[in-house]
Amino acid sequence: MADSVIRLEDVSRYYLMGEFVVKALDGVSVDITRGEFTAIMGPSGSGKSTMMNLIGCLDTPTSGYIDIDGENTAGLNEAELAYIRNRKVGFIFQQFNLLGKLSALDNVITPLLYAGVSVRERKSRAIHALERVGLADRMDHRPNELSGGQKQRVAIARALVNNPTILLADEPTGALDSRTGGQIMELFEELNSEGRTVVLVTHDRDLGMRCHRQIHLRDGKVEA
């Protein structure tokens, strides 16, 4: 139990859609330990996005408890949740979500800004993270000067730069061709083999099966 990184205990998330209550997540309990490579799978509407948002502290549950890296997130305010997102979670999105007006380097620096890292350390850490994903030679390029695969590498560097406990990837290969997607997937496998906890949200069966553990969601519940 000491090495539990993500712990969901009877977590539900309900939305109100007009007069109807949508049970996006309905009493889910999940435990992910340090160093695991987990896929959260399921068809669209199964609740995997909701689960990702909850693990990433972008959202709070209607009921239940979520511990991230041993820290209970219940009752935290927006600023405290932002702190956890900044220090413990590295997000990778399907559409990369790079800041278009900033260079690759400045994109990677951004989380360090919010972490209050000094100017010199910011730059050296960001360069190091870009080197790790093999893009040190592109750091002055803007996102629109990069290919899809390069963009996703910048996004991974950005997710890695603050040395988070969890890498949280939402369909990270969804916008890439299969060859590039495969390379990105290899990068995740490498990062995991270095001991990083990786959670991958996907509806793609083949991709999911490459992870060491699969959590299947259907209608807001975990399938046995």
Rule CB under 8 A: which residues touch other proteins? 53, 56, 58-59, 78-79, 82-83, 85-87, 91, 93, 97-99, 101-102, 110-111, 113-115, 158, 162
Considering the complex, state which of residue 162 and residue 165 has its C-beta at the smaller distance from other proteins: 162
Task: Give the span between the Cα atoms of 177 and 6, in whole angstroms.
Answer: 31
Residue 32 contacts residue 6 (beta carbons within 8 Å): yes
Using the minimum distance from each CB to other proteins, give the nearer residue, 163 or 193. Answer: 163
Shortest Cβ 212–other proteins spacing (Å): 26
> Which of 124, 178 has the CB closer to other proteins?
124
Q: How far apart are CA 87 and CA 172, in angstroms?
A: 21
Minimum gap (Å) between residue 29 Cβ and other proteins? 22
Min dist. Cβ of residue 98 to other proteins (A): 8
Least distance in angstroms from the C-beta of 42 to other proteins: 18
| Percent helix / strand / coil, the chain, rounded to 5 | 40, 30, 35
Amino acid at 205: R
Phi, psi of 20 (to 5 degrees): -100, 145
- Closest to other proteins by CB, 33 vs 94, is 94
Distance of alpha carbon 200 from alpha carbon 190, whole angstroms: 14
